[in-house]
Amino acid sequence: MLMVQKYGGTSLGDLERIRAAARRTAGLVRQGNQVVLVVSAQADTTDELIAQASKVNRRGSAREMDAYLAAGEQMSAGLMAMALGAMGYPAVSLSGWQAGIHTDGVHGNARILEVDTARIRRELDAGKVVVVAGFQGVDPEGDVTTLGRGGSDTTAVALAAWLKADRCQIFTDVDGVYDRDPRLYPDATRFGRIGYGKMLTLVEQGAQVLHDRSVILARDHGIQVEVLSAFTGEPGTILEDLE
Ligand code: ADP
Ligand code: ASP
Ligand code: MG
């Protein structure tokens, strides 16, 4: 089975969490699966980078902000590939441009236009886990772009779509999608399954559990996406065509 799995920032917050995600991946590889891991910047890294940049230049150019912010995800990708390597599982980290993620030129909020999967395929065929830096791509000028806050979800769904993956899973710090933010409302109820339309409405109301464009891409390409806890690995919420 070809699986695309994405880990969010909190789920990679420290080395033990990175190792836990690597161990889960190793288990899947042992079972004979091919795995593409999409990683976010660790914990609050992106917020910290934005704060740093604003100390240097309050109105820094969007192009340079992208060059700077994309580094957070690249650090996670390199670290994850090294964690897998230390466990005896060959892995290769790829930045967005190396992974063939082509976007438009809207710095800070770029849209994925196409994914050239040749390099990822080659690495998978060579028996490697492919760790892709989320949230970024390359524009027609050859410049690094970022996809907007929360955009690693969109990287994962785009890769699942263009690779025709058998499974797309978003590992996060809650155990699924709820009718309201479960951190603010302890009595919120969890969906076992949710349709694209209803999910989009939740996202428009501010539920940042999935990036809006990831839901639109999943809908347009008919991708089933599971949102689940990185800490328990228990089944989560299935996003699919229910309408
Ligand atoms: P990640 O770093 O894994 O991408 P995010 O912080 O982007 O995680 O999204 C997960 C968070 O979304 C949860 O911690 C939760 O507080 C928040 N959230 C808001 N609305 C919802 C909702 N309706 N269902 C689930 N989580 C929600
Ligand atoms: N690190 C980026 C952000 O904080 C992208 C992501 O986490 O999906 O917005
Ligand atoms: Mg997120």
Which residues touch 39 (CB under 8 Å, ≥6 apart)? 6, 7, 12, 73, 76, 77, 80, 131, 132, 133, 134, 152
**Per-residue pLDDT at 60:** 81
Is residue 11 in contact with ligand 1, taking CB distance under 6 Å? yes
Residue 224 lies inside a defined structural domain of this protein? no
pTM: 0.98
SS3 193: strand
Question: 232 alpha carbon to ligand 3 midpoint, in Å?
Answer: 18
- Is 72 close to ligand 1, i.e. is its CB under 6 Å away? no
Ligand 1 centre from 176 Cα, in Å?
A: 9
Does 198 reside within a domain? no
Tokens 């820094």 map to which residue?
60
The predicted structure's pLDDT at residue 59: 87
112 falls within a domain: yes
The answer to the question of residue 186 being in a domain is no
CATH number at residue 155: 3.40.1160.10
Ligand nearest to the CA of 174: 1
Instruction: Give, in order, the Cα–Cα distances in Å from 196 to each of 178, 199, 229.
Output: 14, 5, 20
Beta carbons of 91 and 120 less than 8 angstroms apart: no
- Mean per-residue pLDDT pooled into runs of 10, the chain (243 residues): 98 98 98 98 98 93 98 98 98 98 98 98 98 99 98 99 98 98 98 98 97 98 98 96 87
What's the alpha-carbon Rg for the chain, to the nearest Å? 17
Question: Cα(199)–Cα(78) distance, rounded to whole angstroms?
Answer: 32
Report the pLDDT value the prediction gives residue 212, as an integer from 0 to 100. 98
User: Atom 5 in ligand 2: which residue has the minimum CA distance?
Assistant: 150
Q: Which residue range forms the structural domain that includes residue 139?
A: 2-172+229-234
Distance in angstroms (rounded) separating the CA atoms of residues 119 and 92: 11
Q: And the tokens for 224?
A: 């089933």
**138 CA to centre of ligand 3 in angstroms:** 21
Cβ–ligand 1 contact at 236 (below 6 Å): no
* Whole-angstrom distance, CA of residue 238 vs CA of residue 243: 14
Gap from CA of 184 to ligand 1 centroid (Å): 11
Virtual torsion, Cα 215, 218, 223, 227, nearest 10 deg: -20
- Residue 119: per-residue pLDDT: 98
The H or E element that residue 230 is part of is none
CA-nearest residue for atom 8, ligand 2, is 150
Query: What whole-number distance in Å separates Cα of residue 13 and Cα of residue 19?
Result: 11
Residue 193 located in a structural domain: no
Residues 6+ apart with CB under 8 A from 37: 5, 6, 7, 21, 25, 80, 129, 130, 131, 132
Atom 5 of ligand 1, nearest CA residue? 209
Is position 58 within any domain? yes
Q: Which two tokens stand for residue 213?
A: 């464009």
Question: Is residue 210 in a domain?
Answer: no
Residue 82: predicted pLDDT: 98
Say if ligand 1 is within 6 A of residue 64 CB.
no
- Per the structure, the count of domains in the chain is 1
8 lines ligand 1 (CB under 6 A): yes
Ligand nearest to the CA of 148: 2
- Write down the pLDDT at residue 99: 99
Do 135 and 152 contact (CB within 8 A), yes or no? yes
Domain membership of residue 194 (yes or no) is no
